[in-house]
């Protein structure tokens, strides 16, 4: 076992991990942050997307030791400090950007990474950026509308 | 996953020392290796991560030569290799954004997946792969599906690309995996044209010499009329027959040429 330390959602944390411990296992099982989901375990679905030093990363495809010393943000760190929903989360609610909700943590984290890189993406850019996030309810249309709205751009009426 | 120890050295010397351990294996960005470990397709006793070594990461332009560190992630090449636009575009089309933030050029080349994008760029550009012990020309590096000239304990340090006059990569990507069902990298140099095809052959990436000859004589999409790949030896699976892949390689090549003229 090896000791790892990192900053998760602004808080310094540490714990013992094996070489094979994935970052998502450390987040969910050691820290109890179960908002980050594991959908496929084959690096394809994107429900486990978090931010490592500000970049979107699949937390099921990086070892916990590789994140030693990193700044991590998970879905639990996305709300405003007063606990109210962040603009992206609010837009997902307003535009019904979720059905079963399982993919939502990864969708929100990818959306946040996209808007940090590109504050006013086109619909095509949003769809391209979400190519690694699967919604098995196939609710993509409203997810894209939510992200357009969160970016402050107009959303066409249905 | 089977159990293993993970090393995360910050210097090349420490990484090379750690890789001397029995059954030790280098770990790049892990976007292929970690899924393979989960399926128990690999059982190293020790993984040595190369991602935390600053000397292995970065992009440098000197004259007409672009040098990329082995541990440079695809997203950085996409964003910072503007001196070689076709290469930046290729890197920006690998996988998805989260994969591009972790996956590395060195990892992709060492793995030599027959459907990967980077091998096409390296072979199509005539790049040079610099390892800890030697320099290997792209023409000598790729040795068939998942096979390279790398020896045990030899790791890629950087890749040197001559920047062509013009180049373009076109791939028909598999909608789920984002790997190329067929991909063509066409690069035009003074007096010569190189064409590398990925995703198609059971031998992995290869140079399409007939297309190179036709395009060297006259660089235009219709110069490829009558030039085609035989289906023999091409990959055949549920995603496409060998004849389909051979045909698609020609289509991707013509599209790349059309985008360059």
Q: Could you give the ipTM of this predicted complex?
A: 0.96
Q: How far is B105 from B44, CA to CA, in rounded Å?
A: 21
Block residue for tokens 């949003």: A126
Beta carbons of A57 and B49 less than 8 Å apart: no
In the CATH scheme, what is the code of domain A2-76? 3.10.20.30
Query: Is A63 an interface residue toward B (CB < 8 Å)?
Result: yes
- The model's pLDDT over B72-86, given as tens digits with 9 standing for 90+, comes to 999 999 999 999 999
HSE, side-chain direction, 13 A CA sphere, residue B246: 13
Contacts for A141 with CB less than 8 Å, ≥ 6 apart: none
A65 touches chain B (CB under 8 A): yes
Nearest to B90 by CA among B114, B71, B116: B116
Please give the Cα distance from B253 to B210 (Å, whole number).
12
Q: Is B203 helix (H, G, I), strand (E, B) or coil?
A: coil
Q: What's the pLDDT tens digit per position in B29-61?
A: 999 999 999 999 988 999 999 999 999 999 999
Tokens describing residue B137: 């020309």
CA proximity to A17, closest of A66, A60, A56: A66
The residues that bridge with A15 in the sheet, in sequence order, are A4
pLDDT digits 0-9 by tens, B2-21: 999 999 999 999 999 999 99
B105-158 per-position pLDDT tens digit = 999 999 999 999 999 999 999 999 999 999 999 999 999 999 999 999 999 999
Chain B residue nearest residue A50, CA to CA: B98
Q: Do B98 and A44 touch (CB under 8 A)?
A: no
| B87 three-state secondary structure | helix
Alpha carbon distance A98, A88 (integer Å): 12
Q: Where are the domains of chain B?
A: 5-48, 55-162, 166-260
Phi and psi at residue B100, to the nearest 5°: -70, -20
B22 pLDDT higher than 80: yes
Å between B230 CA and nearest CA of chain A: 33
Topology, domain B166-260: Enolase-like; domain 1 (3.30.390)
pLDDT at A41 over 90: no
pLDDT the model gives residue A96? 95
Of A143, A142, A140, A147, which is closest to residue A158 (Cα–Cα)?
Answer: A142
Give the ranges where chain B is alpha helix by DSSP (H): 12-18, 33-38, 74-80, 85-91, 97-102, 105-111, 118-125, 138-141, 209-217, 242-260
> Cβ separation of B30 and A66 shorter than 8 Å?
yes
Asked if the model's pLDDT at residue A157 lies above 80, the reply is no
Q: Which two tokens stand for residue A73?
A: 């943000």
- Between CA B131 and CA B56 the distance in angstroms is 11
SS3 for A67-99 is: HCCCEEECHHHCCCCCCCCCHHHHHHHHCCCCC
* Arithmetic mean of pLDDT, A118-142: 96
The residue in chain A having the minimum alpha-carbon distance to the alpha carbon of residue B100 is A57
Q: How far is B11 from chain A (nearest CA, A)?
A: 15
Closest CA to A4 of B12, A54, A22: A22
What is the second-level CATH architecture of the domain A87-150?
Orthogonal Bundle (1.10)
Contact B53, B127 (CB under 8 A): no
Tell me, what's the pLDDT at A158? 65
DSSP letters along B98-119, please? HHHHH-BHHHHHHHT-TT-SHH
Q: Which residues of B touch A56 (CB under 8 A)?
A: 97-98, 101
pLDDT value for A18: 97
- Taking the CA of residue B92 as centre, how many other CA atoms within 13 Å lie in the half-sphere pointing to its CB? 14
Residue B175: pLDDT over 90 = no
Yes or no, beta carbons of B75 and A66 under 8 Å apart: no
Residue B176 pLDDT greater than 90, yes or no = no
Q: How confident is the model at residue B90 (pLDDT cuts 50, 70, 90)?
A: very high
Residues B193/B208, Cβ–Cβ less than 8 Å: no
Instruction: Please give, rounded to a whole number of angstroms, the shortest distance from the CA of B1 to a CA of chain A.
Output: 7
Instruction: Among 3.40.350.10, 3.20.20.70, 3.40.50.1100, 3.30.43.10, name the CATH number for the domain at B5-48.
Output: 3.30.43.10
Q: How far is A78 from B244, CA to CA, in rounded Å?
A: 46
- Per-domain residue ranges for chain A? 2-76, 87-150
pLDDT band at A156 (very low <50, low <70, confident <90, very high): confident
A92 vs A133: CA distance, rounded Å: 15
pLDDT tier for residue B64 given thresholds of 50, 70 and 90 = very high
CB contacts, 8 Å: B101 with chain A: 52, 55-57
In a mutagenesis test of the B interface, which of A36, A53, A105, A131 is the best target, namely the one with the most B β-carbons within 10 Å?
Answer: A131
CB of B120 within 8 A of CB of B184? Answer: yes
Question: In chain B, which residue's Cα lies nearest the Cα of A114?
Answer: B97
CB-based contacts of A62, cutoff 8 Å, min separation 6: A22, A23, A52, B30, B34, B102
Give the pLDDT band (50/70/90) at residue A154: confident
Give the integer Cα–Cα distance in Å for A77 and A50.
10
Q: Using 50, 70 and 90 to split pLDDT, how confident is the model at A48?
A: very high
Residue A61 touches partner B, C-beta closer than 8 Å: yes
Closest among B152, B182, B173, B159 to B60, alpha carbons compared = B159
pLDDT at B212: 98
Q: A66 and B4: CB-CB below 8 Å?
A: no
Q: How near does any CA of chain A get to the CA of B52, in Å?
A: 8
Q: Do A58 and B49 touch (CB under 8 A)?
A: no
Residue B101 contacts residue B122 (beta carbons within 8 Å):
no
- Average pLDDT over all residues of chain A: 96
* Residues of chain A found within 8 Å of residue B176, distances taken between Cβ atoms: 44
Q: Is the pLDDT of residue A103 over 80?
A: yes
CB–CB of B75 and A55 under 8 A? Answer: yes
**Best of B35, B97, B113 to mutate (most A CBs within 10 Å, chain A):** B97
Residue A42: closest C-alpha in chain B: B35
A58 and B99 within 8 Å at the Cβ level: the answer is yes
- pLDDT, one tens digit per residue, over B192-242 is 999 999 999 999 999 999 999 999 999 999 999 999 999 999 999 999 999
How far is residue A18's CA from residue B47's CA, in Å, rounded to a whole number? 12
In chain B, what is the straight-line distance between the N-terminal and C-terminal CA atoms, in Å?
Answer: 49
CATH topology of domain B55-162: 3.30.465
Instruction: Please calculate the CA angle B118-B122-B124 and round it to the nearest 5 degrees.
Output: 110
């Amino acid at each position: 076992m090896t000791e790892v330390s990192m900053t998760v959602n602004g808080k310094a944390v540490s714990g013992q991990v094996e070489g094979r411990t994935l970052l998502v296992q450390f987040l969910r099982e050691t820290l109890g942050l179960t908002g980050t989901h594991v959908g496929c375990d084959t690096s394809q679905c994107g429900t486990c997307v978090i931010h490592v030093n500000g970049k979107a990363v699949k937390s099921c495809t990086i070892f916990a030791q590789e994140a030693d010393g990193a700044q991590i943000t998970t879905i639990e760190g996305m709300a405003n400090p007063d606990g109210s929903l962040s603009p992206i989360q609010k837009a997902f609610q307003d535009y019904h950007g979720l059905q079963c909700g399982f993919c939502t943590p990864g969708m929100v984290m990818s959306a946040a990474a996209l808007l940090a890189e590109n504050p006013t993406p086109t619909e095509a850019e949003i769809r391209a950026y979400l190519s690694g996030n699967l919604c098995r309810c196939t609710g993509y249309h409203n997810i894209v509308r939510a992200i357009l709205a969160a970016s402050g751009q107009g959303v066409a009426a249905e | 996953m089977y159990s293993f120890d993970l090393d995360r050295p910050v210097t090349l010397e420490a990484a090379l020392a750690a890789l001397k351990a029995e059954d030790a294996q280098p770990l790049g960005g892990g976007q292929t290796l970690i899924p393979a470990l989960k399926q128990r397709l690999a059982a190293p006793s020790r993984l040595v991560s190369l991602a935390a070594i600053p000397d292995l990461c970065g992009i440098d332009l000197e004259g007409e030569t672009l040098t990329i560190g082995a541990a440079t992630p695809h997203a950085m090449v996409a964003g910072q290799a503007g001196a070689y636009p076709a290469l930046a575009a290729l890197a920006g089309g690998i996988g998805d954004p989260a994969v591009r933030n972790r996956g590395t050029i060195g990892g992709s080349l060492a793995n030599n997946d027959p459907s990967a994008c980077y091998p096409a760029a390296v072979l199509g550009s005539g790049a040079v792969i610099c390892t800890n012990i030697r320099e290997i020309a792209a023409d000598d590096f790729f040795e068939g599906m998942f096979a390279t000239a790398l020896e045990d304990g030899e790791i890629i340090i950087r890749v040197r690309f001559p920047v062509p006059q013009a180049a373009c990569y076109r791939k028909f990507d598999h909608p789920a995996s984002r790997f190329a069902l067929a991909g063509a990298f066409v690069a035009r140099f003074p007096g010569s044209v190189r064409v590398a095809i990925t995703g198609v052959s059971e031998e992995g990436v290869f140079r399409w010499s007939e297309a190179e000859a036709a395009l060297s004589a006259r660089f235009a999409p219709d110069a490829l009329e009558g030039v085609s790949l035989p289906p023999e030896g091409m990959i055949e699976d549920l995603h496409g027959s060998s004849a389909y892949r051979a045909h698609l390689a020609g289509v991707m090549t013509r599209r790349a040429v059309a985008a360059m003229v």
